[in-house]
Amino acid sequence: NAGVTQTPKFQVLKTGQSMTLQCAQDMNHEYMSWYRQDPGMGLRLIHYSVGAGITDQGEVPNGYNVSRSTTEDFPLRLLSAAPSQTSVYFCASRYRSYSNQPQHFGDGTRLSIL
Amino acid sequence: AQSVAQPEDQVNVAEGNPLTVKCTYSVSGNPYLFWYVQYPNRGLQFLLKYITGDNLVKGSYGFEAEFNKSQTSFHLKKPSALVSDSALYFCAVRLTDRGSTLGRLYFGRGTQLTVWP
């Protein structure tokens, strides 16, 4: 039972490059979400999904795209990387959007944009 | 606007002493309340939650939290701190109204707990 798996763990990009952060869960959770964590800012929601084929924007969606073709996977795409996107990115999942169960988090992707 | 406040960026306590990490919130309705802990280079780990019922809830690693509806607070406590409790702690609130927020989780900014020997 792996939980939430994020790859890669570390990445360095140049400004303007694109990349995809991968997230997979094996718990059959309907709800998945992406956060970014910056010092003193807590966690801010980027995008979320309540099930396969359904995604929506969170608090800070600009510069990011998501898709949800399967229940298990929820990749986050940076379209044209900018230094302001240097951050630690966390993927999380829980059973359903209205469930009172806690979210499960991956160990994060540490992304630096030069 | 929905908000979660952790008024202390840093809490320092001596090992063996009681600890409190504070959290207050301003959201609509009757939310679910959570505490998470983050160790260096790791994701957030669930500690405990309040859904309904008894105002004192117990969680992992000897932590407990007290819900106070009138003060809209959910403070994290532990009777006797350990050096291994040193970590970053986050309070989180989830709305329960079936509106456009769709169960979104709101986080505080985090409190760094340091327990010294």
* Distance from C-alpha of A3 to C-alpha of B67, rounded to nearest angstrom: 29
User: Residue B100 pLDDT more than 60?
Assistant: no
pLDDT tens sequence across B8-29: 999 999 999 999 999 999 988 8
Q: Which of A13, A37, A12 is nearest to A92 (CA)?
A: A37
CB contact under 8 Å between A4 and B34, yes or no, is no
B72 touches chain A (CB under 8 A): no
pLDDT tens sequence across A53-98: 999 999 999 999 999 999 999 999 999 999 999 999 999 999 987 7
A102 closest CB neighbour out of B9, B34, B109: B34
Which of A90, A95, A96, A105 is the mutation pick for testing B, counting most B CBs within 10 A?
A105
* A58-97 CB burial, b ≥16 within 10 A, e <16: bebbeebebbbeebbebbbebeebeeebbbbbbbbbbbeb
Residue A104 vs residues A10, A50, A91, B36: alpha-carbon distances, Å: 20, 15, 8, 10
Taking contacts as CB-CB distances below 8 angstroms, the residues of chain A near B108 are 42
> Nearest-CA residue of chain A relative to B101?
A58
For residues B73-89, average pLDDT: 97
pLDDT tens sequence across B19-55: 999 999 998 888 899 999 999 989 999 999 999 999 9
